[in-house]
Amino acid sequence: MTKTFIVKNLDCAHCAEKMERAINKIKGVNEASITFMTQKLFLDADDDRFDEIVEEARKAVKKIDGDEVDLTEV
């Protein structure tokens, strides 16, 4: 399944890079790509674990750039 999310309050380009790498490491993620300028996360991950993966991704981005960062589905 593929979905696009907005990464709210993403304002550091370097962090976007780190987040992208962190999310790609989550088990079940086929491809994750964050575009800093449009603040978008494109996530392609396994269907049966998709919601869990999104939760893990949310934790990962918060860990990197603080609590005000969040994922919302487009």
Residues that bind another protein in the complex, under the rule CB under 8 A: 4, 11-14, 17-18, 21, 33, 35-40, 42, 63-64, 66
State which residue, 21 or 27, has the beta carbon closest to another protein.
Answer: 21
37: nearest Cα among 72, 68, 13: 13
Scanning 1-74, the segments in alpha helix (DSSP H) are 13-25, 50-65
Taking the complex as a whole, how short is the minimal distance between the CB of residue 28 and another protein, in angstroms? 20
Tokens of 40: 């978008």
Three-class DSSP category at 38: coil
State which residue, 32 or 53, has the beta carbon closest to another protein.
Answer: 32
State which residue, 54 or 65, has the beta carbon closest to another protein.
Answer: 65
